[in-house]
């Protein structure tokens, strides 16, 4: 790390104990740093056998790996340095950013990447709150103590911090995605009393037919048209035992012109004929 990059005091804490004294063999924090008001841009940076997780708490800039796309970095962003690549990074010209870094090593890093951590070589927007800031400060205190067990605690706390960052980052878009799916299912339910027209449904929700089919299969476990048929059979079951309507009238109301076709669907999904169902479940 280049420490001559800011006019403000820097906080740099290296590993103060022999690694052989640590209980955590799968993850070791080698050093941590806080670089407030960083103004310098670094080019052609190489990190031989180490990884580093960078959290930008304020300001803005860019991050580029090798000759790849120059990615924008804003406040509350994470990115990584890792072996085998060349990095160009830093604040925008005339600007600054507030940088926390955690240099780490160990096989635990690959486990993160294989399961829940963001992809290396990308910038990950996250959400930060007071609790997470307190964890960062706690990691620095534990590293500064020079006590082996505290260094182990710092490593575990860093994993917890990154996991929380990732779960918070995923919760917002997932919530929005869930709302979209619920709206889609609600719209399908409103089509029970007319022929199902998936093209119009897709147009209302600005999605393709393939997306509609994939979403329904993932959420319900059923192919699109089978899901709609099952909904209509469920509605027919309710009407059979709660009204005096004939099955023909119910089939027509649910958008089926061929009552015999709907009767076969009913028996397939209800396990018995409409007549038998009414006799068995009617009052």
Provide the pLDDT for residue 48. Answer: 85
Domain limit, last residue, from 125, 144, 172:
172
- Model pLDDT for residues 223-234, shown as the tens digit of each residue: 999 999 999 999
> Would 139 be classed as within a structural domain?
yes
Whether residue 247 sits in one domain with residue 157: no
Question: Among the residues of the chain, which ranges form H helices?
Answer: 108-115, 130-145, 148-189, 198-205, 209-220, 224-242, 247-253, 259-270, 274-281
> Would 233 be classed as within a structural domain?
yes
16-23's contacts with Cβ under 8 Å and 24+ in sequence apart are: 16/143, 16/144, 16/146, 16/151, 17/146, 17/147, 17/148, 17/151, 21/148, 22/148, 22/151, 22/152, 23/148, 23/149, 23/152
CATH for 246: 1.10.10.60
Q: What is the mean predicted confidence (pLDDT) over 193-202?
A: 89
Domain count, the chain: 2
Model confidence at 218, pLDDT cuts 50, 70, 90, reads: confident
- Model pLDDT for residues 108-161, shown as the tens digit of each residue: 999 999 999 999 999 999 988 898 999 999 999 999 999 999 999 999 999 999
Where in the sequence is the domain holding 240, given as residue range(s)? 190-283
Whether residue 155 sits in one domain with residue 51: yes
20-23's contacts with Cβ under 8 Å and 24+ in sequence apart are: 21/148, 22/148, 22/151, 22/152, 23/148, 23/149, 23/152
Whether residue 132 sits in one domain with residue 38: yes
> Would 185 be classed as within a structural domain?
no
Provide the pLDDT for residue 3. Answer: 46
- Model pLDDT for residues 149-159, shown as the tens digit of each residue: 999 999 999 99
**Cα separation of 283 and 278, whole Å?**
9
> Would 179 be classed as within a structural domain?
no
Cα angle: 58, vertex 61, 64; to 5 degrees: 130
Whether residue 195 sits in one domain with residue 155: no
Whether residue 74 sits in one domain with residue 22: yes
Q: β-pairing, 97-105 with 51-59?
A: antiparallel
- Model pLDDT for residues 60-89, shown as the tens digit of each residue: 999 999 999 999 999 999 999 999 999 999
> Would 58 be classed as within a structural domain?
yes
> Would 4 be classed as within a structural domain?
no
Q: What is the mean predicted confidence (pLDDT) over 193-210?
A: 89
Whether residue 155 sits in one domain with residue 28: yes
């Amino acid at each position: 790390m280049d420490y001559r990059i800011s006019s403000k005091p820097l906080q740099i804490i290296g590993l103060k104990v022999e690694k052989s004294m640590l209980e955590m063999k799968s993850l070791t924090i080698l050093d941590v740093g806080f670089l407030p008001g960083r103004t310098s841009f670094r080019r052609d940076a190489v990190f031989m056998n180490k990884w580093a997780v960078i959290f930008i708490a304020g300001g803005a800039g860019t991050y580029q790996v090798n000759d790849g796309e120059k990615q924008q970095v804003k406040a509350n962003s994470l990115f990584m340095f890792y072996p085998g690549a060349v990095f160009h990074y830093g604040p925008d010209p005339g600007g600054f950013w507030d940088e926390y870094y955690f240099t780490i090593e160990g096989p635990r890093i690959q486990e993160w990447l294989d399961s829940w951590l963001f992809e290396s070589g990308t910038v990950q927007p996250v959400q930060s709150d007071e609790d997470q800031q307190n964890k960062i400060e706690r990691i620095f205190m534990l590293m500064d103590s020079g006590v082996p067990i505290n260094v182990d605690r710092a490593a575990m706390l860093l994993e917890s911090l990154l996991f929380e960052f990732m779960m918070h980052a995923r919760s917002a878009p997932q919530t929005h995605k869930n709302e979209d799916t619920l709206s889609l299912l609600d719209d399908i339910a409103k089509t029970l009393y007319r022929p199902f027209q998936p093209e119009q449904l897709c147009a209302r929700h600005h999605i393709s037919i393939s997306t509609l089919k994939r979403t329904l299969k993932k959420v319900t476990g059923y192919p699109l048209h089978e899901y709609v048929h099952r909904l209509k059979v469920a509605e027919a079951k309710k009407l059979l035992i709660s009204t005096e309507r004939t099955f023909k009238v119910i089939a027509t109301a649910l958008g089926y012109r061929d009552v015999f076709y709907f009767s076969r669907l009913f028996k397939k999904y209800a396990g018995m004929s409409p007549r038998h169902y009414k006799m068995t479940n009617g009052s």
